[in-house]
Structure 1
């Protein structure tokens, strides 16, 4: 069965969509809920609905991690960046690749044999409108199906046992620069999905599809009229100073919101008690801030939406009128902690703008906003009462001016990587970038399907590393106050994120090809292994027949690796990445696959 859905970047029949939102709330998917709570499996890219990316497995620990060896490996046969991680559901593992988005199923009893594979045929022209490499952030599981996407804008559900296509829908249109790179997210009987393409002027939206049929349930945009942004009647009632109604058009000049970006291609989290899911909308378009006066709501916003209707309960815009490409799509981590003596539902988020935020995830109230690195200079601070960042005008990016020594760079001090949380010590282990930039804007017209950026960038290491050449770090943060506990520096950006296991270990990949394990108490390196290619995804873990395994995708690429994978030499190419990561090719080469480790 194939269903055609109206393109998310071109608009929608809003009246009929809102008729579809009047559905009865469904019971949570008990199968997926049980599997994500079983440490032997790895059924979500984020590890669990809370987005904590951790595991209670402890067979591998600080005392024996030195004995970990490679257990088996798998090549996807595809080069370029491999973000995300494989899933383990029962005794099956599901592995994905970069474009053309192949999927493989292997039985853990015999991982050397492919049970089934799904290899879609896509137009090669799709690759030309994919920003920052042809990555795929992984597949999802739900109701006995593997849910995947193709870069060409299609979302599919495959029978988990056979690989047979159960349904296929069109979500977005590459002809206008809208593609799919995000991992789908399954909640209850719903698949949540967003398109990429803000760098091409795509108007962002989050889309909800029926898990069993692929039918569109609702669609909520990031910009535009309130009925299309899908605001609840009491939107932001607890924090009216964040802004409430009419701002999706009023904070834009004319109809600029129609090509205003705000796409979401990052990670979701879900609170079953509140029935709210959380995500971030991305950067406005174009990057040149002079071309779009105003706060540009609701780009750069943390959203809390009802899963069944898509209606927004609250929204907090972190960077009004973004002028640095601080796309706010990063991971949301849900925890419950005491605030002023009362147990409170919290959401924590490290943004590209270099700020670690903690908010009340029920009301949206801002509690903590701390710099993740003292090098952050675009903001002096965030005013906790208003929620508005206090800018330093020295590091603005206005026309006819070349901004220098701007920190963070457009890559942010945090990007797409999934980070890990230890609930016992209330510590978040974050993979960070440490990159600053020079920025020179220019004017350009909008043309559908072409890049709509308007800035030339140069990137380089931040100022306060041990040798001032480091571009990455693993940093432990106390989530009760947002303060750093310890830091482990890396030569290149820590792009893929981290995994925490209860054996007291923090696992992560490096762009130059290592997977490492650190002591969670102090960041001391306890183990490392050189993979065939650089790693830009986060490790995962599972247990099979009583033995713990740690798995990691390899395959250098992503935004930091565009120079290497596309053989580019102009330092300004890759939106500034080529110059920053020119040494990467001296440490690794292209690849694509999976490494699995055990004692």
Structure 2
């Protein structure tokens, strides 16, 4: 046990007396050592890339199951374990159990934490009871519970170091997103856009859980933490109270824009990046205006929360194209000049590349050819519509000021990609993107707001994109500077797992049928596959222990795509349209909750 505890803090700079500096230095060291997987994305930049290469494109075909672990919970298992030294930390969906497993002793349980939560939170969790994982910092494991409680657990013992409530399930606020530790702070989002929740990001001090700041997605500048003259959107000041003026009346108070995705951090710029989600309600005729700042990429100062720049991808969203997907930070040459880039694959079907320092829009291209709701994004900097998508009237869900039943909209509300995170390899300079190849029919209707009750206002049905390979997903390689698909692998169902790229020239991802797949990073050639006990919506990760590299993934079908199986739903319109679209999934997999760990013989 002494050895285990020492490795948890193996890179800490004990001479530092300032708590913030200690936490930052320790986590920097852990992330810098590829033997660990110390953050959900592997690093601050969200690249999901590992420099480990013991498992490579030549020998990955020989992978074998090393060991497995049952979580004891069914429903959808998103996110991934963390590995800090000789300890693996595993989480579950509701009731959000945390396990510390001893890698020196066949995964024996060192400690287990199971919070007590009111099960009444389950009905207000949109799209399954998922949890996207844990964070680590300052010797603590951070858990974001379904009931919005944020708990810091002593990594050695599991004892509660501090606890704070981030929201109120009684009004529809829930916790599904992973916490993120950057510097001396823990960053927490909020879920509940389908209940009229007003989105926010909150920074808590890692040392004791006290609140440092909170920035809302809409509202007055004092709430959104915007400087009307210094905060910019595509290079221009946002102006006074822009988070109110683009809403009718007080609709912004129940405006959505929730923040349940993946965050990234640039220590050199001291900026935190994330996305805000759909505006509430889903019926666009009830909220005229651009509905700022829903559907937006945010760059905020880590210390103060003040927004440096924003970019709204889908003004006045009509299709539930949440903007919460991960922001991937890379340094690449653009037109022969080095640039600090941010790449984002939005639910709306466009892959965006921006300068992450200034917010300049560099690329906006479709990463699924089926996308039809827009002809493209205006890239003319002199145009009054610069940065705006051109909406195809046929696919608008309100026309001539009225609700409109619209058919054949691509992508469906779950987007060309949902929260399942992409990966990036600095060797190939390609992004590896799990995608949904799904379209929908959309019927909006008027809905009244009642706190804690669904505030959707739309009925959906989903189906595979027509005139294509007949499946509901693709796994693609994307050139973020050129804005084009390099190769694409068709899948029968949406690819709902997070990808992993490694220095071994391979990329891993999971399928809803339950396969872990390894493909060539250069051309997508299938190198290995293994079917796990349940559909994979977790994120593949890798680590090294006792001189051997391991690859690990959680399987347990669920999430939005698997909500029919997870919750036992049969009405094809249930699950916001996903139940009917993914009805065939039940022929290939069943509920589960298992960690599977692979290595070479």
Q: Cα 1:486–1:296, aligned 2, differ >3 Å: closer, same or farther?
A: same
Q: Are the equivalent residues in 2 in contact too, given 1:238–1:363 (CA < 8 A)?
A: no
Q: Which residue of 2 aligns with 1:412?
A: 415
What SS does the aligned partner of 2:252 have? helix
1:511 Cα deviation from its structure 2 partner? 0.6
1:463 Cα deviation from its structure 2 partner? 2.1
Q: Which residue of 2 aligns with 1:263?
A: 258
Note the alpha carbon deviations across 1:101-140, whole angstroms, 9 max, x for none: 0000011101341000000111111000000000000000
Q: Distance in 1 between matches of 2:250 and 2:21?
A: 37
- More displaced, 352-361 or 57-66? 57-66
Q: Which residue of 2 aligns with 1:60?
A: 55
1:419 Cα deviation from its structure 2 partner? 1.1
Q: Which residue of the other structure, out of 204, 223, 246, is the alignment partner of 1:251?
A: 246
Q: Which residue of 2 aligns with 1:113?
A: 108
Give the CA RMSD over aligned residues: 1.4
What SS does the aligned partner of 2:517 have? strand
Q: Distance in 2 between matches of 1:292 and 1:169?
A: 33
Map 1:58-207 onto structure 2 (within 5 A): 58-207=53-202
Note the alpha carbon deviations across 1:154-193, whole angstroms, 9 max, x for none: 0000000000000000000000000001100001110000
Q: Which residue of the other structure, out of 326, 329, 344, is the alignment partner of 2:321?
A: 326
Note the alpha carbon deviations across 1:411-461, whole angstroms, 9 max, x for none: 000101111101122100000000000001011100100110000001000
Q: Which residue of 2 aligns with 1:506?
A: 507
The answer as to 2:39 corresponding to 1:39 is: no
1:240 Cα deviation from its structure 2 partner? 4.4
What SS does the aligned partner of 1:29 have? helix
Q: Distance in 1 between matches of 2:271 and 2:468?
A: 39
Note the alpha carbon deviations across 1:546-574, whole angstroms, 9 max, x for none: 10000000100000111111111111110
TM-score, length of structure 1 as denominator length: 0.94
The answer as to 2:345 corresponding to 1:312 is: no
1:341 Cα deviation from its structure 2 partner? 2.6
1:245 Cα deviation from its structure 2 partner? 2.9
Q: Cα 1:24–1:74, aligned 2, differ >3 Å: closer, same or farther?
A: closer
Q: Which residue of 2 aligns with 1:422?
A: 425
Q: Distance in 2 between matches of 1:406 and 1:36?
A: 41
Which 5+ residue runs of structure 1 have no aligned equivalent?
1-22
Q: Are the equivalent residues in 1 in contact too, given 2:22–2:138 (CA < 8 A)?
A: no
Q: Distance in 2 between matches of 1:142 and 1:237?
A: 32
Q: Distance in 1 between matches of 2:503 and 2:125?
A: 38
Q: Which residue of 2 aligns with 1:485?
A: 486
Q: Are the equivalent residues in 1 in contact too, given 2:136–2:181 (CA < 8 A)?
A: yes
Q: Cα 1:366–1:504, aligned 2, differ >3 Å: closer, same or farther?
A: same
1:337 Cα deviation from its structure 2 partner? 1.2
Q: Distance in 1 between matches of 2:235 and 2:433?
A: 31
Q: Cα 1:356–1:28, aligned 2, differ >3 Å: closer, same or farther?
A: farther
1:340 Cα deviation from its structure 2 partner? 2.9
1:28 Cα deviation from its structure 2 partner? 6.8
- More displaced, 107-116 or 410-419? 107-116
Q: Distance in 2 between matches of 1:48 and 1:393?
A: 41
Q: Are the equivalent residues in 1 in contact too, given 2:228–2:239 (CA < 8 A)?
A: no
Q: Are the equivalent residues in 2 in contact too, given 1:380–1:389 (CA < 8 A)?
A: yes
Q: Which residue of the other structure, out of 452, 461, 476, is the alignment partner of 1:449?
A: 452
Q: Are the equivalent residues in 2 in contact too, given 1:511–1:556 (CA < 8 A)?
A: yes
Q: Which residue of 1 aligns with 2:389?
A: 389
Q: Cα 1:24–1:227, aligned 2, differ >3 Å: closer, same or farther?
A: farther
1:238 Cα deviation from its structure 2 partner? 7.3
Q: Which residue of 2 aligns with 1:11?
A: none
Q: Distance in 2 between matches of 1:254 and 1:237?
A: 24
Q: Which residue of 2 aligns with 1:460?
A: 463
1:222 Cα deviation from its structure 2 partner? 0.3
Q: Which residue of 1 aligns with 2:532?
A: 531
Q: Which residue of 2 aligns with 1:3?
A: none
Q: Are the equivalent residues in 1 in contact too, given 2:221–2:227 (CA < 8 A)?
A: no
Q: Which residue of 2 aligns with 1:15?
A: none
What SS does the aligned partner of 1:410 have? coil
1:242 Cα deviation from its structure 2 partner? 7.5
Q: Which residue of 2 aligns with 1:552?
A: 553
Q: Cα 1:429–1:494, aligned 2, differ >3 Å: closer, same or farther?
A: same
Which 5+ residue runs of structure 2 have no aligned equivalent?
1-17
Q: Distance in 2 between matches of 1:331 and 1:451?
A: 26
Q: Are the equivalent residues in 1 in contact too, given 2:198–2:217 (CA < 8 A)?
A: yes
Q: Are the equivalent residues in 2 in contact too, given 1:60–1:503 (CA < 8 A)?
A: yes
1:465 Cα deviation from its structure 2 partner? 2.8
